[in-house]
Amino acid sequence: MAGEDWSDEENDALVADYFAMFTAAETGRAYSKTDHRNALMGVIERSKGSIEFKHQNVSAVLLGRAEDWLPGYKPAANFQDSLVDAVARWLDRNPDWSARLASGNLGVAPGLADDRTLWIGEPPSRRNALPPGELDKIMAVARRFDVAEQDERNRALGRAGEELVLRLERATLAGAGRFDLAKQVEWTSADRGDGAGYDVRSFERDGRDRLIEVKTTNGWQYTPFHISRNEHEFGESNADRWRLIRVWNFRRKPEAFELRPPLANHVALTPTSFLASLN
């Protein structure tokens, strides 16, 4: 079997084993990776190393789908499309797994109660990216399952990310002694509805406007996201005060980075729809 492609049956058995361990981890039950691996070796004729690496491949597929992955199995991106299909089959048969990340069941992200724990770091760059081939594989999964649209539809996730940034902005201003400004920070999308071109109106320490559009995902920092034409045009025409804060890894441990216009300096903007008017 060594060197041969994995069959659908082998992939399905490995993916089921992966999620059995993951379920135990999420529910606080003890499990042994060694016991699971040995049991799986009794079902499929694969080596210990091959099974371990394939589990890492599953983590990479889940990373591309903006899903949690099992701690202890660092994502390894050189997987075959047949494994992507096997993960999709398991998730389709177990809709409650992904639903726990959706509306009403976001969970409490570690550190969410403490505004200061949202780390806003540097935007992703070529310097800290995966090797091109590995990044392409994971991004292909993201495109196939349209995780950007998935995040866009998840209103509970979007609101939770906005609230986290709102509290961070207030805490940052209060920490700088600008309690007057902290009291004026506005959750614009909640108070006045979508359409303003930003979600949170905050301030720089000197009192200048800081208009923030928040984009949130449970995925990693490279997970693509949607930005509306209105948001983009508003940001470009208000470049001195508009900011996009990308919150990622929300459920596990929220982190973020900030982008300033022009967005084309940071991201590749791809048209995804067209307005059709009759001639």
d(CA 277, CA 32): 60
d(CA 212, CA 198): 5
Domain presence at residue 32: yes
Same domain, 96 and 148: no
pLDDT mean by block of 10 residues, the chain; 279 residues: 83 97 93 95 93 96 93 92 97 88 48 57 72 86 93 91 96 96 97 92 97 95 93 96 96 92 91 79
Q: For 108-199, where are the E strands, in sequence order? A: 119-121, 186-187
H-helix or E-strand containing 63?
A: helix 48-64
d(CA 3, CA 49): 12
Total number of domains in the chain: 2
Domain presence at residue 106: no
**pTM for this prediction:** 0.85
Domain range for 233: 137-265
Query: Last residue of some domain: 100, 124, 149?
Result: 100
Domain presence at residue 176: yes
Same domain, 250 and 166: yes
Question: Which two tokens mark 83?
Answer: 């494994």
Give the C-alpha distances (Å, rounded to integers) separating 259 from 66, 130, 153, 213, 265: 21, 20, 22, 10, 9
H-helix or E-strand containing 243?
A: strand 242-248
Give me the residue label for tokens 């991004």. 139
Contact criterion met (CB below 8 Å) for 84 and 91: no
Domain presence at residue 1: no
Q: What is the pLDDT of residue 109?
A: 45
126: amino acid identity, one letter: R
Domain presence at residue 122: no
Q: What is the pLDDT of residue 101?
A: 62
Query: Last residue of some domain: 55, 76, 100?
Result: 100
